[in-house]
Structure 1
Amino acid sequence: VKGIDYSPVSVEKTKKVNETAIADGRCAVLQGSVADMMFADNWFDAVTAFETVYFWPDLPRCFREVWRVLKPGGTFFICNESNGDTDKDEKWTKIINGMTIYQGTELKAYLEQAGFHEVQIHKNKAGWLCVTAQK
């Protein structure tokens, strides 16, 4: 498992939480940007993004980069607590600088533009939004 985060603080916290897995060589945590990942083309079977695409700069570019590092047939899984369908989402964008909450249809359009297919949108009653897409 390899993880990246833009925030050095988050990287250090994640390294502490996953100390045993890192020591065993099962996990690596790196600081970097999803817009320009250091991984080879067609490297991963799956890429996940939990509560993070809100902050990705240039979402179409980031999605193209995820597409690049996924193997053919690989899965991209996005999970957001806010789905852009309710008024409560606006309170977050007012207090968290640089946050953009996307609706499922917006994410689907960006994913398809990046080359993904079989994009599926899943929502639950609590307002969570999960999106899966295949390379």
Structure 2
Amino acid sequence: MSKDPKFVAEQLRKPSGTSATETAQQMNKANKATNLAALKALNVVSGDCVLEIGPGNGKFAVNVLRKGSYVRYTGIDWSSDMVANAKDLNSKYVESGQMDFRVGSSESLPFSDGKFDKVIAVHTIYFWEVLQTHLTEIYRVLVPDGKLCLAFADKSFMQNLPFTQFGFRLFDEGDIRAELSDAGFKVISCGKHSEYGENNTKQLVEKKINIIVCEPDKR
């Protein structure tokens, strides 16, 4: 894949075309530890109905099912290439009805009110043009005692990456806490995840990740 920062940014936002598969593979390698840490923080249990926003090619979806019996998983991604790949990769779970993958955006979720017990979004909020629109939709599809987990790289780290100047919105913990409060959520935990690894331009960096878990504020 091209190392041009603008092209990298476009692919990370919406993997498509001949570079889609390679982009997904690189994201899976770069984001594995963060995905596992976020899923642990979300605490999926037996019987949960889980929505993942921006699952890419669905590489980590099976980890959700492994959290308990009768867990159901839905992934929604705005890349039709990624949804097609995710369905192929997880075909046996899709055919059994345990998984579903759809093309769409959390800006307008094609689900009924209160459908999901848990929602997770890892490295996706950079591309949400109006956070309140997305958060309001997530609030709507969560059950009243549901949980939302947002995992995102801190802007202190992200602002030094060459591709983030092209269409990325950067945040720190305080920014997102304020946005969540405005959308009617109450933060119940905020973890810091740090690791060393290659970024999408093959540079070795320390990744500083915020993992925030929240729930609808019932006050």
TM-score (norm 2): 0.57
* Correspondence for 2:183: 114
| Contact 2:159–2:170 (Cα < 8 Å) also in 1 | no
Q: CA RMSD in A?
A: 1.6
Q: Summarize the alignment of residues 8-19 of structure 1 with structure 2, pairs less than 5 Å apart.
A: 8-19=80-91
Q: Summarize the alignment of residues 1-135 of structure 1 with structure 2, pairs less than 5 Å apart.
A: 1-80=73-152, 82-86=153-157, 89-94=160-165, 97-126=166-195, 127-135=208-216
Deviation at 1:88, TM superposition (A): 5.4
| Contact 1:35–1:57 (Cα < 8 Å) also in 2 | no
Mapped partners of 1:121, 1:53: distance in 2? 16
Structure 1 residue identity aligned to 2:142: L
What is the number of equivalent residue pairs in this alignment? 132
Mapped partners of 2:125, 2:147: distance in 1? 16
119-128 or 15-24: bigger deviation: 119-128
Decide which structure has the larger Cα Rg and report it. 2
Secondary structure in structure 2 of the residue aligned to 1:124: strand
Deviation at 1:124, TM superposition (A): 2.7
Unaligned runs of 5+ in 2: 1-72, 196-207
| Contact 1:118–1:133 (Cα < 8 Å) also in 2 | yes
Pick closer, same or farther for the CA change 1:22–1:84 going to 2, 3 Å.
Answer: same
